[in-house]
Every structure is written in structure tokens, then in C-alpha cells.
Amino acid sequence: MKTFALSRGDANGARPDVAGFFDPRTFSIQYVVSDPATCRCAIIDPVLDYDEKSGATATFQADELLAYIEREGLAVAWILDTHPHADHFSAARYLHDKTGAPTAIGAQVVEVQALWKTIYHWPDLQDDGSQWDHLFDDGDTFKLGEIDCRVMHSPGHTPASITYVIGDAAFVHDTLFQPDFGTARADFPGGSAHQLWHSIQAILALPDQTRLFTGHDYMPDDREPQWESTVREQRETNRHRLNESSETEYVELRHRRDSELPMPKLILHALQVNILGGRLPEPESNGKRYLKIPLDALKGAAWE
């Protein structure tokens, strides 16, 4: 199985190198995106390993990113999450502790914190986003070495979902999947198929040859994992007919599809870590850490 691919850029200040790392346990793709001219890089959507059967955690995935960064002589400028993930733990805090690089996420993460604060019954949770070093608003810009970067608010999958446009590469998280799989679900707490439609249209308004990098791949028809496409490919070949459907038709499709999907198996495990910026629960008096799983909190049980 292919678990690594490098999409080459150039040293002219517009095309970053994008290294994608596929995690077969969670079907997630992590990225190290770097400026070839300055060797400055950002880590996007890193995974902290978690085995739900044993409760064990590990740093295999994150350490693989660090090994690549050291091997390539890169310097970490940012640790970025596109949204609070429902299917894996974020390794942002671990990587911050290892590299000293600042962590960041979209400013609307406070809305997600407020939602899950109620679900987990955490009245003392700080829901102000202070668990990250920086919160990005829609339209914010920054530099990765010499490469211009900007942030697009892309709500729908979650209220806090954002897209990072880094040179000619856009990291579209769970808004779009590969064209043969379609688009993201919108039935999580705070999700909206209407918002997702408009977020997709904004991404498809980027230049045709913009490289799009997705957050997951579920390998339809047992093909090898893939995670790179272009705006043109998505517009013309996405199975959800993004170039032909109206908003009403798309929302109907999304609602129908989402009604058939079970909740992700790690959603209740992962959100309590990810709304804290990747921090695991504090050890209790016996030195052990404990997750808190609310019962009957979400719809979407799969009994068969």
C-alpha cells in the first residue's frame, strides 16, 4: 500500500513541495508542506496514534513526519490543523513540544468547543481557543518562507473547518475527497450541507490547476490511496456532480447519504482531545489518563 508521496514544487516562490503521509488505521493524510527556496515547512493535520481496543497511544505517525523533516533539512514554522478531527487524535501538541513551532487552527474552533463542552458536560472548559498559539480568520495571510499563504473559512463539515492555500496548493481537509469518492459529510454537531455547498464552490473558484490535497482517502474499489487532485478535476469529474448540481440538489444528496452513515468510531474519543489542541487528559491521582465517553449523546448508531 502506498503510504507516502511527494508532490514537487519549485524554488520560484509559488509552488511548495508537498509530502503526503497516509495513515492506514484512520485513512488520514498528514502533510509536510515546504518552501524549496528556504526549507521552511508547515505540518498539516498530524495524527497521534490511538488504539481504541487497548486504549494505547503512540507517536509513530508524528515521528515519521519528524524523521522526514530532519532528513530533508527542513525547519518547522507552523503546526496547522484544518479543523477539530472526529476520526483521529491530533498530534499538534506533541509536535509543538518537539519542535517549538506554533500551533494554529481556525478562529471558529470556539464554536466547536462550545458545542462539545455541553456534550461532554465540561462546565470549566476554556472555550476561547486559547489552547492554540494562533487562531486564523477568513482571509488572513501569512508566509511560509517566501511563499504567500492565505486562509479560507470552509464551514459545513464542521463550523471551524478552514482551507489553507499555500502557493498553488490548497489543503481542503474533509470538504472534498478524491473525485471518485465525492465530498464530506455534514451531519456532525454544528455541520451544515448548505454551508458545505458554498465552501465547495469557493474552493472550485480557485485557479484550475490549483493542487488540492484532501484529509482522508477511503480507497473505493480497492485502489491505492490517493490524496492529490486539481480544481479542474474536481469540477469536471467529482462523482457528486459539483459542476452540474444546484445547491438544492446537492443538499438533498448530502442529507440522503449522511442518513446512511454511522458515526465515526473515534468521534467521542477524539473530540475531547482535539478541542484541547491535541492535549491528552491530565493524569489522575494514580498517574493514569482517562477519556470521558458520554452515552446516548449522538445519533447514528449502527446496530448491524
Q: Are strands 47-51 and 89-90 parallel, antiparallel or unpaired?
A: antiparallel
Supply the pLDDT for residue 299.
85
Contact assessment for residue 56 and residue 269, using Cβ atoms and an 8 Å cutoff: no
Task: Report whether pLDDT(302) > 80.
Answer: no
Considering the domain boundaries, does residue 293 fall inside one?
no
Q: Give the mean model confidence (pLDDT) for residues 280-286.
A: 97
For residues 212-237, one letter each, b for 16 or more C-beta atoms within 10 angstroms of the residue's C-beta and e for the rest, the string is: bbbbbbebeeeeebbbbbbbeebbee
SS3 category, 272:
helix
Contact assessment for residue 139 and residue 162, using Cβ atoms and an 8 Å cutoff: no
Q: Give the mean model confidence (pLDDT) for residues 215-241.
A: 97
Considering the domain boundaries, does residue 302 fall inside one?
no
Considering the domain boundaries, does residue 304 fall inside one?
no
d(CA 26, CA 103): 22
Considering the domain boundaries, does residue 289 fall inside one?
no
Considering the domain boundaries, does residue 280 fall inside one?
no
Considering the domain boundaries, does residue 299 fall inside one?
no
The better pLDDT of the pair 11, 25 is held by 25
Q: Give the mean model confidence (pLDDT) for residues 231-249.
A: 96
Contact assessment for residue 184 and residue 157, using Cβ atoms and an 8 Å cutoff: yes
Considering the domain boundaries, does residue 14 fall inside one?
yes
Task: Report whether pLDDT(304) > 80.
Answer: no
- Residues spanned by the domain of 179: 4-274
Q: Which residues contact 16 (CB under 8 A, 6 or more apart)?
A: 9, 33, 34, 35, 36, 144, 147, 166, 167, 168, 169
Averaged pLDDT score across all residues of the chain: 96
d(CA 304, CA 301): 9
d(CA 36, CA 16): 6
Task: Assign residue 66 the CATH number of its domain.
Answer: 3.60.15.10
Q: Which helix (H) or strand (E) holds 20?
A: strand 17-23
Considering the domain boundaries, does residue 301 fall inside one?
no
Single out the residue of 175, 183, 178, 149 nearest to residue 164, CA to CA: 149
Structural domain tally of the chain? 1
Question: Number of helices and strands (H, E) in the chain?
Answer: 7, 16
Contact assessment for residue 45 and residue 91, using Cβ atoms and an 8 Å cutoff: no
Phi-psi region at 45: left, alpha or beta (left = phi > 0; alpha = psi -120 to 50): left
pTM of the complete model: 0.97
List, for residues 132-173, the tens digit of each pLDDT value: 999 999 999 999 999 999 999 999 999 999 999 999 999 998
Can you read off the three cell numbers belonging to residue 38?
A: 528556504
